[in-house]
Structure 1
Amino acid sequence: MNQTVNISFEKTLLKEIDKIAKKEHRSRSELIREAARAYIEKKSKWQTIFDFTANSNSKKTFSENDVLDEIKSIRSKRKVS
């Protein structure tokens, strides 16, 4: 179920939103919903990386390869989803 909310934007930002929405043949609402979903997904992915780092720090030993392996793991999970 959708719920309506009121949001205020600076005029220049709203003009950019409208410009992109028009170019992509989408509504303003569709564009803003997609932007919100992308933001939430990005924050979630970074939180996973931060959590991994915090856990690895408690071991006192982690390398650049550990971080790269975790990034690969997250990316492979994304491909499956």
Structure 2
Amino acid sequence: MNQTFNIYFGKVLLKEIDKIAKREHRSRSELIREAARAYIEKKSKWQAIFAPGSKSVEKSNLTEADIFREIKTVRRNKKAS
């Protein structure tokens, strides 16, 4: 089922949307739907990529500071060798 809703775009962004839609011979709605689909697909792919790592981090109780500290250590060791 399709649903219509209102959304606000600033003038500059709307002008860019209209320019691209015209160049691609699409309506604003088609362009915005495609942009939403692409965004959702991209987010889903990134979540799938990072999910295994996130689970490992949760199990290991590592903090973000621990990870950055380890990255610095690895980089420092690479420079020394």
Q: What range is the shorter-chain TM-score in?
A: 0.5 to 0.7
Amino acid in structure 2 at the alignment position of 1:51? A
**CA RMSD across the alignment:** 1.6
TM-score computed with the length of structure 1 as normaliser: 0.66
Amino acid in structure 1 at the alignment position of 2:20? I
Q: Give the match for residue 37 of structure 1.
A: 37
Q: Give the match for residue 53 of structure 1.
A: 53
- Structure 2: distance between partners of 1:14 and 1:26: 14
- Structure 2: distance between partners of 1:35 and 1:19: 14
Question: Aligned in 2, Cα 1:55/1:25: closer, same or farther, shift over 3 Å?
Answer: same
- Structure 2: distance between partners of 1:13 and 1:4: 20
Q: Give the match for residue 2 of structure 1.
A: 2
Amino acid in structure 2 at the alignment position of 1:32? I
Amino acid in structure 1 at the alignment position of 2:13? L
How many pairs does the alignment contain? 60
Q: Which has the larger radius of gyration?
A: 2
> How far off its partner does 1:12 sit?
0.3
Q: Structure 2 regions of 5+ residues with no counterpart?
A: 61-81
Q: Structure 1 regions of 5+ residues with no counterpart?
A: 61-81
- Structure 2: distance between partners of 1:36 and 1:58: 30
Q: Give the match for residue 71 of structure 1.
A: none
- Structure 1: distance between partners of 2:59 and 2:5: 45
Question: Aligned in 2, Cα 1:58/1:5: closer, same or farther, shift over 3 Å?
Answer: closer
